Chain A
Amino acid sequence: AQKVTQAQTEISVVEKEDVTLDCVYETRDTTYYLFWYKQPPSGELVFLIRRNSFDEQNEISGRYSWNFQKSTSSFNFTITASQVVDSAVYFCALSSQGGKLIFGQGTELSVKP
Chain B
Amino acid sequence: EAGVAQSPRYKIIEKRQSVAFWCNPISGHATLYWYQQILGQGPKLLIQFQNNGVVDDSQLPKDRFSAERLKGVDSTLKIQPAKLEDSAVYLCASSLVTGAGSIQYFGAGTRLSVL
| Contact flag A99-B107 (CB < 8 Å), given A43-B89, A106-B41, A106-B42 | no
Taking a contact as CB atoms under 8 Å apart, the answer to whether A98 and B108 are in contact is no
Let me know if A93 is at the binding interface, CB within 8 A.
Answer: yes
* Interface, chain A (partner B; CB < 8 A): 4, 31-33, 35, 37, 42-47, 50, 52, 91, 93, 95-101, 103-106
Residues from 1 to 57 in B contacting A, C-beta threshold 8 Å:
3, 31, 33, 35, 40-45, 48, 55-56
The complex places the Cα of A113 from the Cα of B43 at a distance, in Å, of 30
| Contact flag A101-B100 (CB < 8 Å), given A43-B89, A45-B43, A106-B41 | no
Taking a contact as CB atoms under 8 Å apart, the answer to whether A31 and B106 are in contact is no
Which of B44, B55, B100 lies in contact with A32, CB distance below 8 A?
A: B100
Closest B residue, CB atoms, query A35: B103
In the assembled complex, the CB of B107 is this many whole angstroms from the nearest CB of chain A, namely 7
By the criterion of a CB under 8 Å from any partner CB, how many residues of chain B are at the interface?
30
The complex places the Cα of A45 from the Cα of B44 at a distance, in Å, of 13
The complex places the Cα of A31 from the Cα of B35 at a distance, in Å, of 23
Taking a contact as CB atoms under 8 Å apart, the answer to whether B106 and A45 are in contact is yes
| Contact flag A50-B101 (CB < 8 Å), given A43-B108, A44-B107 | yes
A98: chain B residues within 8 A (beta carbon):
48, 55-56, 98-100
Let me know if B65 is at the binding interface, CB within 8 A.
Answer: no
The complex places the Cα of A55 from the Cα of B32 at a distance, in Å, of 27
Q: List 6 A-B contacts (CB under 8 A).
A: A97-B100, A99-B102, A100-B45, A101-B43, A103-B42, A106-B40
Let me know if B113 is at the binding interface, CB within 8 A.
Answer: no
Let me know if B95 is at the binding interface, CB within 8 A.
Answer: yes
B93: chain A residues within 8 A (beta carbon):
45
- In addition to A98-B100, A99-B95, 12 A-B residue pairs with Cβ atoms within 8 Å of each other are A45-B43, A45-B106, A47-B104, A96-B100, A97-B100, A98-B99, A99-B104, A100-B56, A101-B45, A101-B104, A103-B42, A103-B44
B106: chain A residues within 8 A (beta carbon):
37, 44-46
